[in-house]
Every structure is written in C-alpha cells, then in structure tokens.
C-alpha cells in the first residue's frame, strides 16, 4: 500500500525541451540521422521494450521508473509517464514473459503483467534479495541471457580494493557478474575480477556474452584502459584489482600476482571513457555492413584533465575479434570541454532504428538510416 501511494502518473509535454537541444552538433556517418524520441525522461538509463511497444526506462540518481509511449508508432513518443518513484538506483531493467524486472542496489524486483498494470502499479514482488547494499558502483544493468537466466553484475564498492578476503569488503559477490535461475534459485558466477560492468550483450549469431568494464581511477590520465571483455568460459577471473587492461599492474594489489593468471580483455579502450551500455545491432534498417556490429556508449570521463568519451562508438568484429573501433555519434563533448549529453544504453527497435538513452540531457534519441 505504501508503494501504491508513492506511484506518480504524470503526462509531460516535452516538445519545447527537445527543441532546445543542439542536435545539429552531433555527427554521424553518411546516411544516418538522429532525432529526439522522447524528452524529460528523468536520468534515463537502461531501456526495455514491451511486446506492444511501450518503452520502460530505468534511472539512477532520480530513483524513478518511466514509461515512454509512442501511440502512433511514428518514431516520436507522445507520452512520458513516471510510473514509480523512490526506488534505490533502479538503473537496470528487463522484460521477460510480460513481466518487468528492475534492479535496485541490493535486490531485484518484479512488476507482473507490466503492459496492463503500468498505469497503476501494484507493489512489486522481490525475486532476488540480499545482494550487497553498497551504493558505490551498486547500480546495475540486467538482462536475461539466451539460457533464460537473469544476469546481474555487482560492482566493486570502491575505486580500488580487495573484495574477496579484503579487510573492508569481504564478499565474493563484489566485482563480479552473476546469473540466477529464477525457477530453481540457483546462482552461478559468470565472471570474477570485474570492477564495474554496466553493460553486456550476446552476439546474435554465436550467442556469446560480451561485457564492458570501467577501469580504475587515480593512476593518471592515460592508464589504465577501460575494457570490452568476452566470456569464453564462465567463472573466469578478469584481473581486478590486481591487473587492469590485461597488463597494467595495480600499484597497491599486484604484488605476487601474474598477468597470465587472468583473462585479458577482448579489446582495450582509452582510459576513463567509461563504457556503459554495449549492444549488438540486429535490425534490418542499417546497412548490411553494420549488422552484428557492437555499439558502445562511452559515458565520458569525470576526473581526467582533458575529458574523454562522451560518444557512441562502433566496434567491428571479424572471426570473433574486434578489428576496428570507430566513432558513430560524436558531438556531446565540445571543444571547450563542456558537454551537453552523456550516452548510456542502446536498444534496437522492431523497425531497425536504434535508441540511445542519455541520463544527462534526460532524453532518448532515435537513430535512423536512409540511403
């Protein structure tokens, strides 16, 4: 009943806000166009699309869930509804069998039959409880894998620390990616030694999992790199807090450790670009050469002397390796070091367009292609 009273339904007119964003500053490859799909989507993070086309959006700092509705399916939403509030960093969400799963810091909750209940949400069901409750890197990206298990990352509760047997944070769930069988309640480690992954996806053809990882801070402007990783075998250790980017020794925790004992990244990114959502494009609107490309939302640095990131990149794969990494959307970061947007997550729509959420500008963009 308490949660019922907290529910807020609000119709928002956002055309004026959309008109103020300098979309003309964004550059994309020839033939691609970017528009506003929805504005005033508070702190927009991960997105999930229902069977009938309602877009649900998580948040981090604002603690709300939003429903974005494009009634006439013209590629521009008419309604943005705040359907729940006062949640604890509900950044990640996923839809499975018509139910909406939402990741808070220490638990995963479920809103059943979301398409028919989102305008008057009942109290959620708790499906996973007892995850670490530290808010530092505690917000999550979640999704169901091809095996129907729910994948849940748990970030390190610090910039750099020992989390398994450590003095302050002795919990093996920290700095890892877990998966849960919601029917049997079984839990399996997908990856260990992962500082903070806020994005992952499965290759449409191989069904192999790839994930991003944010490198540690306070080692200078150019080290260590952020990472894109590939899961060749579940349960492997990816180096944190001992090694970063495969070969960079941590000055505090690498003593007595060997780089060869840990899984090297599939691809190293620039330092501090903060890769969040990664997404394999699987639509039919974009050119055939773009299909199965891995898009990476570089959220952008916060403590680098010269900012980096603030763009969407495209990774080109060949024989299961990244062979090229090129800009796809640039322009949120200006020459004077100011920024007016920060990309977070990506989603292929049924018509083949690509949605990009932005938790700084509070909007969702729609990218289309025409020859």
Q: What is the pLDDT of residue 169?
A: 84
Residues 6+ apart with CB under 8 A from 256: none
Residues 6+ apart with CB under 8 A from 186: 180
Give the residue numbers spanning the domain of 342. 2-369
Secondary structure (DSSP) of 59-102: -STT--EEEEE-TT-SSS-SEEEEEE-S-S---EEEEETTEEEE
Please, which contacts does 246-254 make with residues 24 or more away whose CB atoms are closer than 8 Å?
Answer: 248/219, 248/223, 248/224, 250/160, 250/216, 251/219, 252/160, 253/160, 253/162
DSSP code at position 128: E
Q: pLDDT tens track of the chain, all 371 residues?
A: 333 333 333 333 344 445 689 999 999 999 999 999 999 999 999 999 999 999 999 999 999 999 999 999 999 999 999 999 999 999 999 999 999 999 999 999 999 999 999 999 999 999 999 999 999 999 999 999 999 999 999 999 999 999 877 677 889 999 999 999 999 999 999 999 999 999 999 999 999 999 999 999 999 999 999 999 999 999 999 999 999 999 999 999 999 999 999 999 999 999 999 999 999 999 999 999 999 999 999 999 998 999 999 999 999 999 999 999 999 999 999 999 999 999 999 999 999 999 999 999 999 999 999 98
Integer-rounded Cα Rg, in Å, for the chain is 20
Q: What is the pLDDT of residue 164?
A: 78
List b or e across 151-169, with b for residues whose CB sees 16 or more CB atoms inside 10 angstroms.
bbbbbbbbebbbbeebeeb
Q: What is the pLDDT of residue 101?
A: 98
Q: How many CB atoms lie within 10 A of CB 119?
A: 11
**CA distance linking residue 220 with residue 242, whole number of Å:** 17
Q: What is the pLDDT of residue 10?
A: 37
Q: What is the pLDDT of residue 259?
A: 98
**CA distance linking residue 17 with residue 12, whole number of Å:** 11
Q: What is the pLDDT of residue 4?
A: 37
Q: What is the pLDDT of residue 80?
A: 98
Given the structure tokens 């997550």, which residue do they identify?
345
Q: Report whether 353 contacts 13 (CB < 8 A).
A: no
Entry pTM? 0.94
Residue 126 has φ and ψ, to the nearest 5°, of: -90, 120
Q: What is the pLDDT of residue 14?
A: 40
Q: What is the pLDDT of residue 11?
A: 36
Separation in Å, CA 75 to CA 37, 51, 315: 6, 16, 26
- Check which CATH number belongs to the domain holding 327 and give it: 2.120.10.30
Q: What is the number of domains present in the chain?
A: 1
**CA distance linking residue 332 with residue 25, whole number of Å:** 7
Helix, strand, or coil (residue 49): strand
**CA distance linking residue 149 with residue 182, whole number of Å:** 7
């Amino acid at each position: 009943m308490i949660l019922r009273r907290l529910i807020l339904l609000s119709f928002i007119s956002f055309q004026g806000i959309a008109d103020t964003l300098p979309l003309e500053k964004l550059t994309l490859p020839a033939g691609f166009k970017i528009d506003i799909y929805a504005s005033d989507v508070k702190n927009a993070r991960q997105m999930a699309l229902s069977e009938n086309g309602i877009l649900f959006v998580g948040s981090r700092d604002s603690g709300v869930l939003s429903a974005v509705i494009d009634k006439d399916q013209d590629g521009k939403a008419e309604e943005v509804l705040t359907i729940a509030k006062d949640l604890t960093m509900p950044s990640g969400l996923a839809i499975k069998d018509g139910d909406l799963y939402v990741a808070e810091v220490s638990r995963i909750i479920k809103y059943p039959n979301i398409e028919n209940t989102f305008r008057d949400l009942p109290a959620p069901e708790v499906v996973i409880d007892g995850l670490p409750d530290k808010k530092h890197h505690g917000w999550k990206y979640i999704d169901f894998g091809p095996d129907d298990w729910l994948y849940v990352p748990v970030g390190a509760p610090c910039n750099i620390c020992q989390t398994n047997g450590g003095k302050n944070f002795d919990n093996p769930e920290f700095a890892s990616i877990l998966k849960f069988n919601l029917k049997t309640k079984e839990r399996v480690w997908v990856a260990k030694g992962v500082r903070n992954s806020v994005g992952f996806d499965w290759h449409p053809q191989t069904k192999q999992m790839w994930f991003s990882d944010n490198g540690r801070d306070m080692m200078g402007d150019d080290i260590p790199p952020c990472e894109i990783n590939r899961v060749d075998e579940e349960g492997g250790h990816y180096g944190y807090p001992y090694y970063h980017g495969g070969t960079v020794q941590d000055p505090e925790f690498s003593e007595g450790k060997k780089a060869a004992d840990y899984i090297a990244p599939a691809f190293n990114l620039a330092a501090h670009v903060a890769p969040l959502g990664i997404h394999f494009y699987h639509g039919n609107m974009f050119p055939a050469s773009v299909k199965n490309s891995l898009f990476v939302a570089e959220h952008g640095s916060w403590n680098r002397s010269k900012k980096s990131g603030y763009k969407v990149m495209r990774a080109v794969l060949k024989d299961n390796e990244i062979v090229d990494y090129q800009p796809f959307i640039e322009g949120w970061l200006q020459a004077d070091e100011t920024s007016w947007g920060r990309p977070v997550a990506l989603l292929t729509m049924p018509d083949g367009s690509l949605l990009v959420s932005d938790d700084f500008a509070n909007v969702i963009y729609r990218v289309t292609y025409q020859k």
